[in-house]
Amino acid sequence: MKYPLSHALVITAFYLIAVGLAGCSGKSDAPLFLESKRKGGEADAPVKDVPSDILSTQKAFSNVSKKVTPSVVNISTVSRKKIVQPFFEMNPLFEDFFGGPQTRRDKSLGSGFLISKDGYIVTNDHVVRDAESIQVKLSNDKVYDAKVVGGDPKTDIAVIKINAADLPASVLGDSDKLEVGQWAIAIGNPFGLDRTMTVGVISATGRSNVGIETYENFIQTDASINPGNSGGPLLNVYGEVVGINTAIVAAGQGIGFAIPINMAKPIFTQLIQKGSVSRGYMGVTIQPVTEDLAQSFGLKQARGALVNSIIKGGPADKAGVQQGDVITALNGTEVKDPSHLQRLVAEAGVGKSARVTVFRDGKTVELNLTLASADSAPKQRRDSGGGRQQGSDADQLGLVLDDAEQGAGVVVVDVARGGVAAEAGIQRGDLIVSINRKRVTSKAEYFRIVQQAGRSGGLTVLVRRGDASIYFALRIK
């Protein structure tokens, strides 16, 4: 039987397709992908021999996450913030039209960790400050309303409370034993991502003068800390809390700060017990010891805190601390700088006896004092002297001076630009009260002391500026 050419082509095409399909069906047993033998498949893992220490480290991180995550909480707050409209608020009719200051409701997220089975939670003060409502979400997704027990803005630590029982409490470690290079693990709620875990190392300890809080002794870490991590725990490989994640350097990466748990424990203990924090108080004002000041005082290195004024009747005054003393140690702990001394005194406790080591006239002196409460510190006001300009030319330090009233010193009427005093930082209106620890009572006394002291080429000048007393080191050219 003969078929037209078109029919023959169709039959041929069907034949080829059938052969092709038959060929494809012959390969149907080949796998579409490779599955590891570790999951019951046929293929070997690309790396067969993983070093045991890597496996152990990986297992350690997993264990920390499993054990500690239940004690980490997510905190969400709602607060009311005033809308700033400076141009319109200058108009006296603003409130008539808009009904008073306009506000908006702000929502924010943070982290925290349980420290007790009955619902006490530690977090950052800035997480819950001014919050109208606070909600806490646990790892089992249960949500509780929380109330603020107390907050301390000077250390950025707060305690909140939820009504619950049999909760998984965190275990607190010893932050004093931390060493640079040790593992650091952060768990928190960055950007609302529940219980995110990041890993890094301890980059540094004892960071101060960062400008974040009044009392600073931060742990620095490169474990990723982001908005929402605030208040969450920083952990060691044992799952112990060694710090409270607090801040990041926005302009950099891998620079985060945490409050050491040893510093935080007395703070949140006081917050739980009485809702506020009391700190020790010496009754002095202090300033840093610069290289020039250290040399002028005869110190081998620029460390410690220089006492520039004494509060009359305060603990330091009663103990015999003098203006011009350099406090080098407190209770045997070497003082690095004024902020370090401030923290040591605050942590020492109200009513506690303290041993103060000072450097005075080239000698080390030991003094004992009893710390008072910082809440009882008087608001000192000092008269800056006033004075009147005599029209005299600047002296060798670049100063134009006048006698203060009642022999209180000499007033700086003017400061010559580029002079020794100007370079050191002395300003118009300052009251010079002593030079090289010798009291200045008049211009005549000032010139006599400067002339005598000038032979050595260096002067230590104590000035009173408003409520503050400040030491300056000057070098006569």
User: Is residue 78 located within the same domain as residue 153?
Assistant: yes
Question: Are 258 and 248 contacting, i.e. CB atoms less than 8 angstroms apart?
Answer: no
CA distance 401 to 461: 14
Point out which residues pair with 241 in neighbouring strands. 172, 235
User: Is residue 183 located within the same domain as residue 253?
Assistant: yes
Identify the domain boundary among 132, 162, 192.
162
CA distance 125 to 212: 13
Q: Which of 266, 262, 271 is nearest to 244 (CA)?
A: 262
User: Does the annotation count 7 as an active-site position?
Assistant: no
Q: Which of 76, 111, 125, 126 is catalytic?
A: 126
User: Is residue 250 located within the same domain as residue 302?
Assistant: no
Angle (CA) 183-72-228 rounded to 5° is 85
Decide if 422 is inside a domain.
yes
Say whether pTM exceeds 0.75. no
Residue type, 255: I
pLDDT in tens, the chain (477 residues): 555 545 555 455 455 555 455 555 555 577 788 888 888 888 888 988 889 999 999 999 999 999 999 999 999 999 765 555 554 544 555 555 555 555 667 788 899 999 999 999 999 999 998 889 999 999 999 999 999 999 998 899 999 999 999 999 999 999 999 999 999 999 999 888 888 999 999 999 988 877 677 788 899 999 988 888 899 999 999 999 999 999 887 666 788 999 999 999 999 999 999 999 988 888 888 888 988 888 888 888 999 999 988 888 889 999 999 989 999 999 999 999 888 898 899 888 888 899 999 999 999 999 999 998 877 666 543 333 333 333 335 787 888 888 777 677 888 888 887 788 888 889 888 899 888 888 888 887 888 788 776 655 678 888 888 778 888 888 776
Question: Are 197 and 185 contacting, i.e. CB atoms less than 8 angstroms apart?
Answer: yes
CA distance 421 to 355: 36
User: Is residue 182 located within the same domain as residue 265?
Assistant: yes
Identify the domain boundary among 251, 274, 297.
274
Question: Are 73 and 137 contacting, i.e. CB atoms less than 8 angstroms apart?
Answer: yes
Instruction: State the residue range of the domain holding 456.
Output: 399-475
User: Is residue 102 located within the same domain as residue 145?
Assistant: yes
For the chain, the domain total comes to: 4
Decide if 57 is inside a domain.
no
Q: Which of 125, 152, 156, 325 is catalytic?
A: 156
Decide if 53 is inside a domain.
no
User: Does the annotation count 156 as an active-site position?
Assistant: yes
> Given phi > 0 = left and psi -120 to 50 = alpha, else beta, which region is 406?
left
User: Does the annotation count 126 as an active-site position?
Assistant: yes
Identify the domain boundary among 274, 291, 308.
274
User: Is residue 329 located within the same domain as residue 311?
Assistant: yes
Point out which residues pair with 245 in neighbouring strands. 258
User: Is residue 205 located within the same domain as residue 229?
Assistant: yes
Tokens 């080098």 found at: 328
Angle (CA) 44-46-49 rounded to 5° is 90
User: Is residue 364 located within the same domain as residue 298?
Assistant: yes
Which CATH number does the domain housing residue 463 bear?
2.30.42.10
* 3-state secondary structure (DSSP) of residue 117: coil
Decide if 1 is inside a domain.
no
User: Is residue 269 located within the same domain as residue 286?
Assistant: no
Decide if 149 is inside a domain.
yes
User: Is residue 229 located within the same domain as residue 187?
Assistant: yes
Decide if 37 is inside a domain.
no
Decide if 210 is inside a domain.
yes
Decide if 34 is inside a domain.
no
User: Is residue 451 located within the same domain as residue 431?
Assistant: yes
Which CATH number does the domain housing residue 154 bear?
2.40.10.10
User: Is residue 294 located within the same domain as residue 269?
Assistant: no
- What is the CB neighbour count within 10 angstroms for residue 258? 28
